Amino acid sequence: MATDKTAESPPILTVRGQRVLLSSDLAGIYGVQARALNQAVARNPDRFPLDFAFRLTRREAEDARRSRSQSVILKRGQNTKYLPLAFTEHGAIMAASVLNSARAIQMSVFVVRAFLRLREWVNGQADLTVRLAELEGRVGRHDHELVGIIIAIRRLIEPTTRTPRRRIGFDTDAPRTEPS
């Protein structure tokens, strides 16, 4: 079990290969008690499949407790009454939609707006991709045409490598021979 910690942010744990927030930390983010968050999840079980939220095993809960604070050690016989829920990224977003705190509502609106902006950005990228393909097609045709023009110009410029023709008529530079 690994922990990602940054200043001021709740610890993000890695449990079962997924990055999760524990219910107590998520409740603090949304400004509700952990009990209220757990009740909201219990009232809406269809909204929280196992890839959104799952209950930690006793061992995972003990490992999480140890990774979070070395100074807090429970006395023998003291156990957590309820094992904590672990929320994946999608589960944390879903939790905001089932809670009725002002902070949870703000977070839901924030997430929806973020996804809208992301969709607009993706659409803009798709438009840019189409335009680049069109430009590439035009340049490609022009390149082919330009290559043909350059070849024709080179043929006109190149000196001809013709074999010299035999001249017709008298050759004035040849030595004269006198008739005998």
- pLDDT tens column, 102-144: 888 888 787 777 778 878 887 877 777 777 777 777 777 677 7
Mean pLDDT of all residues in 133-158: 74
- pLDDT tens column, 36-88: 999 999 999 999 999 999 998 888 888 877 776 544 444 444 555 678 899 88
pLDDT of residue 46: 92
- Assigned token pair, 45: 């079980």
| Mean of per-residue pLDDT scores for the chain | 76
User: Which ranges of the chain would DSSP assign to H, the alpha helix?
Assistant: 23-30, 34-43, 58-68, 89-98, 102-157
CA distance 65 to 74: 10
pLDDT of residue 68: 65
Question: Is this model's pTM higher than 0.85 or not?
Answer: no
CA distance 25 to 95: 12
- pLDDT tens column, 5-48: 444 556 788 888 888 888 888 888 888 898 999 999 999 999 99
Residue whose C-alpha is closest to residue 55's, from 26, 86, 21, 82:
86
pLDDT of residue 177: 64
In this predicted structure, the answer to whether residue 170 has a pLDDT above a threshold of 70 is: no
